[in-house]
Amino acid sequence: MLIVFTGNGKGKTTASLGQMIRVLGRGKSALMIQFIKGPWRSGEDEFVEQFEKFFRESRDPEPGRRTDSKFQIRKMGLGFVGILGDKLPREEHQKAAENALEFFKKEAVSGKWQLIVLDEINVAVSLGLLKPTQVIEAVKDYPKEKLLIMSGRNAPQEFVDIANLVTEMKEIKHPFNDGELAKYGIEF
């Protein structure tokens, strides 16, 4: 089943994490690949570290890699693209997005995951880091009995067309519009 979480409202990554928890509750495994989010720490990173023993099947063969965990979040993006002080060349962001898509392809055929979340992949496409056709080619043979979530603002129509379920988060009101900065525990 292909699910798309999109829209300008808050909650796309949070909804994806909720779906991951539901899958874990059924004894299955879930992987989130983050296409834009960079090296900064977020609440979900802290959660994984605090509850790692519950997600662990065996010890890591390589320190720092959660290769044997039932629950993984892999930050593969380099952070915001062209805003908030980003000084990286666009080519580096594009290469990171391409690497994340290649990583997805390998994990998709591994048989290890009941759910894979491509977090912020819609943003990577809307920024031109990936083409919709690249992504569609990568997901077209994803096993029908597994779950795949593609999240982020500005989902291209091509993703909406192939999805089984699409939810649009609509912003009604947000403190950011009144000049408030992102809040710890809410946005990150």
Taking only the tens of pLDDT, the chain with its 188 residues reads 999 999 999 999 999 999 999 999 999 999 999 999 877 788 888 887 877 766 665 444 444 454 568 999 999 988 888 777 768 888 999 999 999 999 999 999 999 999 999 999 999 999 999 999 999 999 999 998 999 999 999 999 999 999 999 999 998 887 767 777 766 566 66
Model's pTM, two decimal places?
Answer: 0.86
Q: What is the pLDDT of residue 7?
A: 97
Whole-number Cα distances in Å, 99 to 75, 80, 105:
11, 17, 10
pLDDT of residue 60: 42
- pLDDT score at 56: 66
Q: What is the pLDDT of residue 38?
A: 75
Give me the domains of the chain, ranges plus CATH numbers: 2-170 (3.40.50.300)
Q: Is 118 exposed, middle or buried (0-12, 13-18, 19+ CB in 10 A)?
A: buried
Among 25, 105, 97, 38, residue whose Cα is nearest residue 73: 38
At residue 15, the 3 state secondary structure works out as helix
Grouping H, G, I as helix, E, B as strand and the rest as coil, residue 138 is helix
Q: What is the pLDDT of residue 16?
A: 97
Can you give the C-alpha Rg of the chain in angstroms? Answer: 16
